[in-house]
Chains A and B, each alone.
Chain A
Amino acid sequence: MTETTNQLQTTPSQTVGPFFAIGLPWEDGWLVVPESTPGAFRVEGRVLDGNGDPIPDAIVETWQADPDGRFDHPDDPRGAVPRKDFRGFGRSATDVEGRYGVLTVKPGPLPTGDGGWEAPHLNVSVFCRGMLIRLVTRIYFPDEEANAHDPVLNSIDDPAARNTLIAASAPFGYHFDICLQGEHETVFFDV
């Protein structure tokens, strides 16, 4: 019963390549919420390679709960909660300086199902030329006491590594660099 007979093999991932910009970026991709949203802020940063050089052909996507910690999605066992003017999803191709950015609001915390809570965070996918399969990371907020009890942050023993998942406050919102390799390498997840 555990190994279902008709399981299909997942189609392999392949690189997004250098020329995805002809089709993948959307004009409104960076708008997780509309520009007029009260309290909206930018999350911005650079995607850097192992030499510390900016990656100008990367695309960053974000996925997050709404400010109440809910999703407009049928698989959320608490029920889908539509929210006007909230897409939850952001997509931003990097510029020549490797910079990406989305406009959003802070998500609510998420119940883990065993009585705990995940602190507010964005789930992030990174794609670029040179990468055969996406890298997944998370953006947490620096001003959240809930970070101390977050099971994902707490699963990372090395404090320096854990800190790579926490954005820095900035005049425009929050700054979060994604370092693919090297001394300041961001923590990436097997999801």
Chain B
Amino acid sequence: MPLDTTTPHYRRDTGSQPPVHWPDYVSNRARSPHRPLTLLPQRLGEITGPLLGEGRVGPDDHDLTVGHDGEPQGQRIIVSGRVLDGDGRPVAGTLLEVWQANAAGRYRHAGDRHPAPLDPNFTGVGRTLTDAEGRYSFTTIQPGAYPWRNHDNAWRPAHIHFSLFGTAFTQRLITQMYFPGDPLFFQDPIFNSVRDPKAREAMIARFDLDSTVPEWALGYQWDIVLRGKNPTPLEDEDDDDD
């Protein structure tokens, strides 16, 4: 019989998440529902999800600095970390998709009107799969900050967009990774839409000398946590070792 006590149930972790309504982010005002969300019980379609992997990722897709005639401008960096669920379990073989601006703060997108140069050697798109321990690694360049029109003299802190699936529809996550010590955090309504300071901090990567490659690239570490499963009686027995 489906949906017995062994069926996973994903904990809501709303305290760590930004609100649906956040008018400081001006384009949110007409793009957020006025009615409250309706509670959706987690059943078969919510505890399953697309397990996309093989065939989605080319051999060099984790390295955003290759695939062009020359090397991109900017500070070469290696961003690596683990994808875990809320119970600390690694999420293995899951697809990560990233995209970002170039070193000058410009996206390779027709809609980006920031008068900063495009880099012919940088597209700003990467993909990879986590390994059995949930580890991932991207080689890229440090993205630049860029202006936008949200408020007077508004600038986005440097960031890399990350998209993840996990193993269930409930775990789908699109987020942004930020860099430590960015002076632009205080005025950014997107970063500050997360009200819990600890959760906000968790969006900032850590500089890491161990993954810094001498005479080549700076290392940053960033772990990503997807929603965890509610403990069930059966899982409690299995997890008794903590």
Contacts and interface: CB of A to CB of B under 8 A. Distances in A.
Whether chain B is bound by chain A comes out as yes
B87 A71 contact: no
Interface in B19-72: 19-20, 22, 25, 27-35, 37-52, 56
Nearest to A164: B35
Given A75-B47, A77-B4, A10 B17 contact: yes
Given A9-B225, A20-B161, A188-B37, A132 B193 contact: yes
A23 B124 contact: yes
A187 B109 contact: no
Given A12-B18, A127-B174, A65 B45 contact: yes
Interface of B is mostly: loop
B1 to A, nearest CB: 7
A15 interface: yes
B168 interface: yes
A12 B170 CA distance: 14
A55 B32 CA distance: 12
Contacts of A21: 109
17 contacts: A4-B87, A6-B242, A10-B225, A11-B199, A12-B203, A13-B173, A22-B107, A23-B126, A50-B34, A65-B45, A113-B1, A118-B44, A130-B31, A151-B41, A155-B38, A187-B38, A191-B46
Given A8-B88, A23-B97, 5 more contacts: A8-B228, A18-B109, A110-B44, A180-B32, A189-B40
